[in-house]
Structure 1
């Protein structure tokens, strides 16, 4: 929206209110301006039309201008809806109370809410981060920075375009910032999948960014964070801090660290593989993803950490083994496992509570939940310190004592405080904390007793028995008597204020003085409670790093205990991770598919053995629907789970360290980009073959099926040969319906054939879903069509055509055989 369009009235027609609105709107042209007018937030002009449509609220028109609004107390209902549409919202509040005789009250923007800077609980997902991203590009390299303001997590990384796009996909930011002059580049890169905001080019300056970061972290350099050499990442991070300032986020003490994403520390999984393996979402509408099975975390912090661990599995053997060992000890210790799981239920989202404290958006009830959480953490700490296990004792020692913070809260705030500090309530700060506050409360809350006493005194003085004390907003407190009372009984110090049909109302100087004290007390209670509450927050902020550290440890404990629970419920086993390049899985199962069976023993497990010496590539053949794809997927998932630190669905698993998992599974197309199924398949396969490493693991399913049979067979054979002859020898599972590939094991020593067993009983086919050595000869496509409900007439005709094709093929083979014999005879002559 340009500046011209924001003017709602011509200059000479502007009312003071609309002039104030226009002045503020012109400073924030890229936002929806919520303009407080009394008890309502109003929108005007184009903003009003848009809000009316999106929020389904009434659109009105006055003096040729559109208006739409909602009550201020409903902002937590309507604001999340606007943010979910990707809009930026500027909240303009009244900064003073309306006064008689004053034309216009002072107003100003107190907060700008954007998709990437949301703090409202109705907007945020409890078990997902809400990242704001910033990207800076120079030549062929990009710097990426990510901040979750709701938790204080701050990351940066540098890489090429494709890798940065993978990071963006993994973190799934709610909003992405980039420089204005690179709009075409980023529009093409991001394909309009994300909410974006253009930043002026001059802000993407290294010196400016470096100074922003050092000033924020109060350091002389960034060497201590290990990011000093990441120029592009530093620029992107500085842009984020600048953006926070521009959107009125000044209190950001909880952003106390910035971490480099160390690519070399994590197992690389590309976006294709995450999608193909259905890690975070299912390809099918009613399907179940892996994380839905794995996530038995109890706290929001644990849920977010689990997602992070799955996105970035470890390749440090010592760290992986430590996770496995903690899971094992919790698994074997029923008492401690039950204790942890029960206690975690009472821990709130400490990370987001800390952020609200820092930003100044915390309310008394939320702050009291921090006290409850810290009490539970202290119990967990003490319990772990009593254990015999060194690992448990280490966990206990790693948790800092926070009882002093908890005591500050409980000594200051009432046990069941309200959501807000409000005038006339006075029920946030505990009795006895402030002598001054207690005295004012006594005055304020003893109104009835004082007024009853005053009323009795007036009755005795005047001899009028039917005096009442009333109150309204016009006169305040007043005495009320019937009109038939004789005037000589009314004392001279009574001042008449109102005459009604049956009564008269009077005030006295003493009554007015008391009323003034009451009104003053109401304000003083509010001011005092607010000051005490703010002082408490300032005290807690001094220990913010301790709280953040404990929150991270609790999140880890939540994830690891959920792994132990998962293993116990589903008969998972502890995998052995070693430095070899071999893979041995005994009775592996698919953790998602097996959940569809009523009995735990219904799913047919399978063994997979791979190594670089004599069994580098397994070619798996079998009919459609026999379970080839499931076997491929489950093997990749077992490897992933092991590297995350989780136990795995297998009887035994010995896994040589893997640093990359690649997959090409399932058919898909990208019509929007004009890419066919086959083109997508080739793109994904090319990505795999161009990015192999010594420790890569590949699963390839039905490569070449998107084109003609002979082309497909040729491509599949060529890919297998390439992988076999490659110097890195990546271990590979290759599923196919091309039976022509079965003879490749005769030509290449590290290729082995497996097939899925099928039995035929009384003209019915039974899929055994069990692997056996050797290749399969039949695809049984017509049988699959039959059991899918295909009309009988079509099935019969298909059988007839198949028989005809087989006969023709046999005839051709005989002719070729005769021709070959004739050629040999001629050659002999």
Structure 2
């Protein structure tokens, strides 16, 4: 807050800062933007600026850090990319003519969700800003969604809205969009404090917006929305933009509504597990499915490809329309090549249109726009050729090349304009008579200057006398000091003294200087005026530009998918209609892994689900390929439903509504969740939300807890899937004992990943998924491949044999049971009772070992008596090994004594 002791400038600063307490205030002072107080201290650290102070000699100097105005964009990007907001404060009047304190105000608030510029190479990334409001729906009211969500990419003008039933769906949709900032209502029934906490936990920037003001623009942009909640959330988002950007936003397109259920739905866990848009390990694009598919030539195409990838379709007609277009491009190499060659010259038309609307389009941007539009006629001609597939011909006829706009820019703007639009040299000769006259006057004056220089040389006898110019001193006559004695007294008026020369002027030179400056100023003003008129014309054509951008982006994606299909031997999948949920993938492959291997190294696999088969139970050793097998099925489904060809020889699929995955082992320590808790929570998402039309991939469920607990949960989940959901499921497990479930559950089919164990104990993976169950898990053999000490492995073998001898983990009927495991029942009447772990039929009867060994010799009988006294429930693997050793020693000693 301002105090009486503060200067008028700091009072003004605090008045502005109080309005933007959560932003860095960049306060314009002359050629610098200044940061003060806490902003200066924090900003100096983040931006690596020199921290100085204002009023250094006072008792309380004010921390201060400055940034040159011409370099400010880079510093703003750093702060915004780090999740901060920046308020730009400009001088609203000329300091030279201002009376008293120069008026200043915020001209723009730049936030993570409203940032327009980006890092080099990220043109294929959207920058989404979202808004969410609560709809006031009652819990359990199936007719009304609980939340409304709208989002926009300010750099392209794309605006969309939807309604969602629960908070988890909101969080997942925000994650899928990779939003940078979320706007919430400041107060009232639309406020969502619980959601704000959930959003903040995920690291997204939360902003608040107050009252929405009536606006014709908001009414126009939301006119297609039918629901009040959709209108409310979109209006909230638009009001936030109007309040922060404070400039024209004419490029924003009318809102489009969508239903999340209209697309193949998968949550953030699935996107990560499948490496769809980034590699889960490196967090980079490389190593993802998006990177493999991205053969697009334009930034617009790259963004659209990513949107198709994260929102595959469910509408079969729309899927087939994309497939047919991909097939048309794939079958016509020359047309595809011509289209892609021309697309290389197309800049980001969506963002150029946005810059025109925002008033930030410069002359070089205009040239980029012209070159983009000049590439369209050849692209269009290639599509309209007589031999071309009618699908592509139709796409060509739908294109408006905007030849009028390209011609205007070509006639008006020079091919290589400067960055600044205020310093002239923008307009083509012959475009404007007035500019041409100014240029002629300047050229004539240059001739006069050359003649004047020659005149003065002859008059003074100084052959190296020069008439020169610089920005600080204008035009002058320069004479070296060794020639000063040749000048007659009073001929020139001294202007500047240098080490080796003197600079002079004359009334005649000053007169012509004034003429030149006047002509230059008038030329600059006229050229800027003409530039603005061209930019205004571009702004008038924003809708046409955006439509063209959308059509070129679609062509770009379709051609890219055709490229991938041809180069990576993808084929066109077929789809089943009706109730038939059978599935067939012949020689399917994981496209990303295949791309990382050498030719012919990837082992393809068939995947078949008969209509009456719902669950594939896949067993086999670690590293044999179970997870890859599962992931490749999911990727084939995603690719197929986004309209792409797929990595398989032949594919017939049903349409899926959702994909759920539980793959890998990850904890969530920040939120206090162990690996096992995360595992169960992710499994629960599928068990709660999946339908018979869903695809479920479960990998190693139950491994995060004790063996019997894990095996029990795994079996119970499989049986729940079979009994309740009937979803297409691949369940990979090391619990090979579970394969017995297929005996009593017709919908379960056993598969295993082939492996060979040689005579010397070496394990070789075949990476081939085959019908039938695995006979063992090969865990110790995989440990050997990891290089564990041989003595340890030998010890493990002995422990394993001891455990297997006890019958641990046998499958009896439908249930996995232990030969002796029981659990404590709830305490009743003060007494703890022991009950079987699984209440399925009569519990197995435990008989003392001695009752079945009466005929044994005394040494064996003694060993069995010792074994009979052991409580197997409390026996650890190491204790079991020690017990076996003790029993062997007892028999050996008794044998020697006898």
TM-score by length of structure 1 reads: 0.90
Quote the offset at 1:479 in angstroms: 5.0
Quote the offset at 1:184 in angstroms: 4.1
Quote the offset at 1:760 in angstroms: 2.1
Is 1:588 the equivalent of 2:580?
no
* 1:691-770 matched pairs, under 5 angstroms: 691-726=689-724, 729-763=726-760, 764-770=762-768
Quote the offset at 1:70 in angstroms: 2.2
Quote the offset at 1:819 in angstroms: 5.7
Quote the offset at 1:621 in angstroms: 1.2
Q: Residues 480, 686 of structure 1: CA spacing in aligned structure 2 closer, same or farther, 3 A cutoff?
A: closer
Q: Residues 538, 574 of structure 1: CA spacing in aligned structure 2 closer, same or farther, 3 A cutoff?
A: same
Quote the offset at 1:554 in angstroms: 1.1
Q: Residues 329, 673 of structure 1: CA spacing in aligned structure 2 closer, same or farther, 3 A cutoff?
A: same
Quote the offset at 1:820 in angstroms: 13
Query: What residue is the counterpart of 1:147 in the other structure?
Result: 152
Query: What residue is the counterpart of 1:542 in the other structure?
Result: 540
Is 1:311 the equivalent of 2:310?
yes
Q: Deviations over 1:478-500 (max 9, x none)?
A: 5567664686x757xx7676799
Q: Residues 462, 144 of structure 1: CA spacing in aligned structure 2 closer, same or farther, 3 A cutoff?
A: same
Query: What residue is the counterpart of 2:394 in the other structure?
Result: 394
| Distance across 2 between alignment mates of 1:673 and 1:583 | 39
Of 549, 552, 561 in structure 1, the residue corresponding to residue 550 of structure 2 is 552
Quote the offset at 1:429 in angstroms: 0.9
Is the contact between residue 271 and residue 277 of structure 2 (CA under 8 Å) also seen in structure 1? yes
| Distance across 2 between alignment mates of 1:462 and 1:326 | 80
Is 1:29 the equivalent of 2:48?
no
Q: Deviations over 1:355-394 (max 9, x none)?
A: 1111111111111111111111221111101143110111
1:156 is paired with a residue of what secondary structure? Answer: strand
Q: Residues 447, 71 of structure 1: CA spacing in aligned structure 2 closer, same or farther, 3 A cutoff?
A: farther
| Distance across 1 between alignment mates of 2:750 and 2:514 | 94
Quote the offset at 1:798 in angstroms: 0.7
Q: Residues 415, 201 of structure 1: CA spacing in aligned structure 2 closer, same or farther, 3 A cutoff?
A: closer
Of 214, 217, 222 in structure 2, the residue corresponding to residue 215 of structure 1 is 217
Of 664, 667, 671 in structure 2, the residue corresponding to residue 666 of structure 1 is 664
Is 1:803 the equivalent of 2:805?
no
Q: Residues 582, 185 of structure 1: CA spacing in aligned structure 2 closer, same or farther, 3 A cutoff?
A: same
* 1:263-662 matched pairs, under 5 angstroms: 263-285=260-282, 288-388=287-387, 389-423=389-423, 426-456=424-454, 469=467, 476-478=474-476, 484=485, 490=490, 507-579=505-577, 580-599=580-599, 601-612=600-611, 614-662=612-660
Q: Residues 646, 101 of structure 1: CA spacing in aligned structure 2 closer, same or farther, 3 A cutoff?
A: closer
| Distance across 2 between alignment mates of 1:172 and 1:520 | 53
Quote the offset at 1:58 in angstroms: 0.8
| Distance across 1 between alignment mates of 2:196 and 2:777 | 44
| Distance across 1 between alignment mates of 2:702 and 2:499 | 96
Q: Deviations over 1:584-613 (max 9, x none)?
A: 1111111122223212x221111111143x
Q: Residues 249, 147 of structure 1: CA spacing in aligned structure 2 closer, same or farther, 3 A cutoff?
A: farther
Paired residue total: 795
1:771 is paired with a residue of what secondary structure? Answer: strand
Query: What residue is the counterpart of 2:176 in the other structure?
Result: 170
1:623 is paired with a residue of what secondary structure? Answer: coil
Query: What residue is the counterpart of 1:53 in the other structure?
Result: 45
Q: Deviations over 1:603-637 (max 9, x none)?
A: 1111111143x212111111222111111111111
Of 164, 188, 197 in structure 1, the residue corresponding to residue 197 of structure 2 is 188
| Distance across 1 between alignment mates of 2:676 and 2:378 | 58
| Distance across 1 between alignment mates of 2:500 and 2:749 | 106
Q: Deviations over 1:548-579 (max 9, x none)?
A: 11111111111111111111221111111231
Of 774, 778, 781 in structure 2, the residue corresponding to residue 780 of structure 1 is 778
Q: Residues 260, 490 of structure 1: CA spacing in aligned structure 2 closer, same or farther, 3 A cutoff?
A: same
Larger mean CA deviation between 413-422 and 180-189 belongs to: 180-189
Structure with more relative contact order (C-alpha pairs < 8 Å, separation 6 or more): 1
CA RMSD of aligned residues (A): 3.0
Q: Which has the larger radius of gyration?
A: 2
Q: Residues 721, 237 of structure 1: CA spacing in aligned structure 2 closer, same or farther, 3 A cutoff?
A: same
Structure 1: any 5+ residue segments left out of the alignment? 824-829
Is the contact between residue 462 and residue 490 of structure 1 (CA under 8 Å) also seen in structure 2? no
| Distance across 1 between alignment mates of 2:772 and 2:39 | 69
Query: What residue is the counterpart of 1:93 in the other structure?
Result: 90
1:143 is paired with a residue of what secondary structure? Answer: strand
Query: What residue is the counterpart of 2:248 in the other structure?
Result: 251
| Distance across 2 between alignment mates of 1:415 and 1:307 | 34
Quote the offset at 1:157 in angstroms: 1.1
TM-score by length of structure 2 reads: 0.83
* 1:69-88 matched pairs, under 5 angstroms: 69-88=66-85
| Distance across 2 between alignment mates of 1:809 and 1:38 | 85
Quote the offset at 1:284 in angstroms: 2.3
Q: Residues 469, 585 of structure 1: CA spacing in aligned structure 2 closer, same or farther, 3 A cutoff?
A: closer
Of 195, 207, 210 in structure 2, the residue corresponding to residue 198 of structure 1 is 207
| Distance across 2 between alignment mates of 1:475 and 1:668 | 69
1:733 is paired with a residue of what secondary structure? Answer: strand
| Distance across 1 between alignment mates of 2:365 and 2:91 | 25
1:682 is paired with a residue of what secondary structure? Answer: helix
Is the contact between residue 343 and residue 380 of structure 1 (CA under 8 Å) also seen in structure 2? yes
Is the contact between residue 124 and residue 130 of structure 1 (CA under 8 Å) also seen in structure 2? no
Q: Residues 484, 385 of structure 1: CA spacing in aligned structure 2 closer, same or farther, 3 A cutoff?
A: same
Query: What residue is the counterpart of 2:63 in the other structure?
Result: 66
Q: Deviations over 1:618-672 (max 9, x none)?
A: 1111122211111111111101110011111111100111111111222222111
Q: Residues 744, 465 of structure 1: CA spacing in aligned structure 2 closer, same or farther, 3 A cutoff?
A: closer
| Distance across 1 between alignment mates of 2:566 and 2:603 | 19
Q: Residues 144, 679 of structure 1: CA spacing in aligned structure 2 closer, same or farther, 3 A cutoff?
A: same
1:116 is paired with a residue of what secondary structure? Answer: coil
Query: What residue is the counterpart of 1:826 in the other structure?
Result: none
Q: Deviations over 1:746-772 (max 9, x none)?
A: 212222111112222232221111122
2:322 is paired with a residue of what secondary structure? Answer: helix
Structure 2: any 5+ residue segments left out of the alignment? 56-60, 138-145, 811-817, 821-842, 852-898
| Distance across 1 between alignment mates of 2:288 and 2:365 | 33
| Distance across 2 between alignment mates of 1:217 and 1:524 | 43
| Distance across 1 between alignment mates of 2:708 and 2:641 | 39
Is the contact between residue 84 and residue 123 of structure 1 (CA under 8 Å) also seen in structure 2? no
Quote the offset at 1:126 in angstroms: 1.1
Quote the offset at 1:795 in angstroms: 0.7
